[in-house]
Structure 1
C-alpha cells in the first residue's frame, strides 16, 4: 500500500496545531485571571494601583496595555484604566518636578495640545516610564492624545541632555550629577518607540535614539561579562553596582525599536549579546529569572524582572532564539505553579515559594511574564 507524504504528515500537523491552540488558550486564561487580580488593587481615585509607587504605576499600566493589544476581551478593562488614569493619575505624582516643558503642541496653532508637566516628578527615569506607558496605551487603542502626551514627556527628557560624562546622556534627575543606566536606556527606548509611531517626526526621533545609543556604548555602563551595571562613578567609570534585571531589559526593547525604524546590522547583535549575558547571570538551572534582592526586593526591585521579560519578548520576536523562548515560557509556568498565593496574587520569587509581600508591584511584574508567554503562543 502506498501512502502520500501529506497523508502521513496531516495527523502530526493537526496534533501540533491543537497543542499550540491549547497552549495559547492556557496562556490567555492565566493572563486574564491575573489581570482580574491586579485590578483588585486599582484605585479609581488615585489612578494607579494601591501598594504601587509612581513609576511602578506606569509599569503596571504598560503591562495592562500589552495584554489588551494581544487579547481584545480585556480591552474594556484597559480602556477604563487608560481613561481614568489619564484624568486623575497626576494626583498621585509625589514630586511634581521643575522640568521646563509644560505643553506639547502638534502644530503652531495650539491644536491637540496636551499638558505633559503634570506627569513629571523630578526623576527623569520616572518620566520616561510614563512616556512608555502612554505609548503602550496608544498601541492598544490608537488614541492619538496618548501618543502626544508621550511626545511631550520626551521633550522634557531631551531638554535634560548633557552630563559630565562625554557631554552626553541624561542625569538621574534635575538636581543630581549621577549618571545611571536606566534613565538613559528609557530615553533610548522612548525615542525609538516614537520613531515608529510618529511618521512626520521619524528622523528626529531616530537621531535622538541613535545619539543616545552611540553615547551609551562609548561609556562604561557595560561590564566585562556583558551585563549592564547600575551606572557610572564621578570619573565616568563603571560603578560595579548591582546588575539589575531591568537594566538588561529596557535596552533590548530600545534596540529592537531602533532597528525597526532605522535598520542597522549592529543593533540586534548588540541586543543579543546583552540578553545572553543577562540570562547567564540571572537565570537558574530551570531557566527561571531571579533578582539579586530576592526575596526582599521592596520598594522598587519587585518590578524589575517583569520589565526584563517584557523586553526579552520583543527581542525574541525580532531575533528568535530558543534560549529566550525557554526563559519566557519557563518563568511563566513556574510563576503559575509555584508563585501564587491563595488569593491569586503573584510574588517576587518566580521559582517559589512565596516568602515576602505580595502586592500590585510583584503581581504586575509576574503578569508581564504571563503576557510575554501569551505573545509567544499567538504571534
Structure 2
C-alpha cells in the first residue's frame, strides 16, 4: 500500500511527471538519456513525499536527509524549470515541517539521564532529555538497524500543497531564518544523523544560495564538534551521545561536513583545520584495511573490528577528500580518494560491475540507502579527478538500475542488478536514483 498521502502527493507531482514523460515517445525501457531517466525517477520519488511532515514516507529520519540531498544534486545539474521551482519548495517545507518528527530531540543536553533499565520506559517527543526509544543497533550480521519510537513520523497537521508554498518571498524570510537558526531541531543523539542533515542543508544552500540553510549547517556542525574526543587517541567522535562505539561513518561525515563548509562559510580556515584534524586522526585509527577499503569501526581497545566494508563507508570519505582538496589543495587527498574508490569498486562489484552490499538483496531501510551514497560521492571524485574506472562503474550501475531494477510504476528497488524486489520504498528508490543522477555528469 502507498502511504495515506498518496493522492495528495500524486497531485503535487503530476505537472512535473507529465512534463517529464512528454519528453520522449519511446518506451521507458528504451530511454537512454541520463537526465530524462533521473527526472522520471524524481516523479516517482515524490509520491512518497509527505508535505505534512516534511519527510519521505516509508523511510527513516536520516534517510530523508539523504533524499533531500538527492533532489538538490539533481537540481544542480538539471535546469528543468519545474524542477528548479519544485526543489526550493521542498527545502522550505522540510525546514519548517520536519523538526516535529525528530525522533529524539534534545537528548544530548543531559547524557547522564538514561532509560529506566528496570521497566525500559521511555517518554516520546519530550523536552526532558529522556530517551524516547530511538536507537541504532548492529545485528549479528553487523547490519545497521534503526529503531524508532512508537507512532513515529505521523502527520502533525493538515497536508500542505507544496506547489502553493512561497519560494522565500520577502514576507517569509524572517520565519525561515528563525527556523534555520535552531540546530537543536535536527539533533537526535546520533552524530551521523545530525551530519546527514548538515550536508542536506549545504546541498539546499548550493541550489538556492539562501544563507539560512548554510547557517543551519554551520550550527549543526558546531553542536557536533563539541563531542570531539574519544577513548581512541582522544580524537574523533563517537557514534552517539552514549559514547559506546567509535566507528567510521560519523567521522567520515564530520570530515565531509567540515570540508564542505570550508568552501562555503566565511570562517574557511577553521573548517579546513577541523577537516585536517579529523583526517589525521582517522588515518591513524587503522579503519582503512590492507585492501584499501574501510571497515565499520573500532573495537573497545581501538583496533579495526574487521566488520563489513559497507558501501557508504567507502563513499562519504571520497566527497570529504574532494572538498578538502578544493579548500586546501594537496595532491595526497585525491590520491587517497582514488585508492579507496578503486579498492571499493573491486571489492563490492559483481561480474557486471554492479555494486552490492553484504545485506543484499534484502537489506533493511538503513542498508538499502548505502549504495546510493557511494555513487553520489564517486561522482564527486570523478568531477574532481576524472577516471575511466569511475565512469564505467557509474554507467554500469545506472544502466542496470534502469533496465533491471524498475517496475511499471518506475519505482526502483534494492537489487541494482535485478530482478525487481517488491516492494520498493523511498529508501530503495532514492538510493538507486543516486546512480541515475551520477550518470548525468559522466556521459
TM-score scaled to structure 2, two decimals? 0.76
Is residue 328 of structure 1 aligned with residue 399 of structure 2?
Answer: no
Is residue 76 of structure 1 aligned with residue 85 of structure 2?
Answer: yes
Larger CA deviation: 314-323 vs 126-135 = 314-323
CA–CA separation in structure 2 for the residues paired with 1:281 and 1:350 = 16
Report the structure, 1 or 2, having the larger helix content.
1
CA–CA separation in structure 1 for the residues paired with 2:200 and 2:366 = 17
Structure 2 unaligned residues grouped into runs of 5+: 1-29, 111-176
Contact 2:95 2:179 in 1 (8 A): no
CA–CA separation in structure 1 for the residues paired with 2:410 and 2:375 = 20
Deviations 1:82-135 (A, max 9, x none): 01000001112111133359xxxxxxxx99970110101110000000000000
1:24 shift after superposition: 11
CA–CA separation in structure 1 for the residues paired with 2:357 and 2:295 = 13
Contact 1:231 1:241 in 2 (8 A): yes
Out of 183, 188, 191, the position equivalent to 2:250 is 183
1:57 shift after superposition: 0.3
1:311 shift after superposition: 0.1
Distance 1:50-1:188 versus aligned 2 partners, 3 A rule: same
CA–CA separation in structure 2 for the residues paired with 1:146 and 1:363 = 26
Which position in structure 2 is the counterpart of 1:259? 325
Q: Give the secondary structure class of the aligned counterpart of 2:360.
A: coil
Q: Give the secondary structure class of the aligned counterpart of 1:227.
A: coil
Which position in structure 2 is the counterpart of 1:44? 51
1:281-296 to 2 correspondences below 5 Å: 281-296=347-362
1:223 shift after superposition: 1.2
1:176 shift after superposition: 2.5
Which position in structure 2 is the counterpart of 1:194? 261
1:265 shift after superposition: 1.9
Contact 1:24 1:374 in 2 (8 A): no
Is residue 153 of structure 1 aligned with residue 153 of structure 2?
Answer: no
Distance 1:172-1:111 versus aligned 2 partners, 3 A rule: closer
1:375 shift after superposition: 2.0
**Aligned residues, how many?**
346
Structure 1 unaligned residues grouped into runs of 5+: 1-22, 102-109
1:71 shift after superposition: 1.0
Is residue 343 of structure 1 aligned with residue 352 of structure 2?
Answer: no
Larger CA deviation: 291-300 vs 254-263 = 291-300
Deviations 1:145-203 (A, max 9, x none): 000000000001110000000000000011122001000000000000000001x2000
Q: Give the secondary structure class of the aligned counterpart of 2:267.
A: helix
Contact 1:163 1:179 in 2 (8 A): yes
Deviations 1:39-61 (A, max 9, x none): 00000111110011000000000
CA–CA separation in structure 2 for the residues paired with 1:300 and 1:111 = 31
Q: Give the secondary structure class of the aligned counterpart of 1:99.
A: helix
Contact 1:347 1:359 in 2 (8 A): yes
Out of 128, 135, 141, the position equivalent to 2:202 is 135
Larger CA deviation: 252-261 vs 318-327 = 318-327
CA–CA separation in structure 2 for the residues paired with 1:142 and 1:65 = 12
1:341 shift after superposition: 1.1
Is residue 115 of structure 1 aligned with residue 182 of structure 2?
Answer: yes
Contact 2:31 2:37 in 1 (8 A): no
Q: Give the secondary structure class of the aligned counterpart of 2:279.
A: helix
CA–CA separation in structure 1 for the residues paired with 2:78 and 2:386 = 22
CA–CA separation in structure 2 for the residues paired with 1:264 and 1:303 = 31
Contact 1:99 1:156 in 2 (8 A): no
1:137 shift after superposition: 0.6
TM-score scaled to structure 1, two decimals? 0.89
Contact 2:59 2:427 in 1 (8 A): yes
| Structure 1 runs of 4+ with >6 Å offset | 110-113
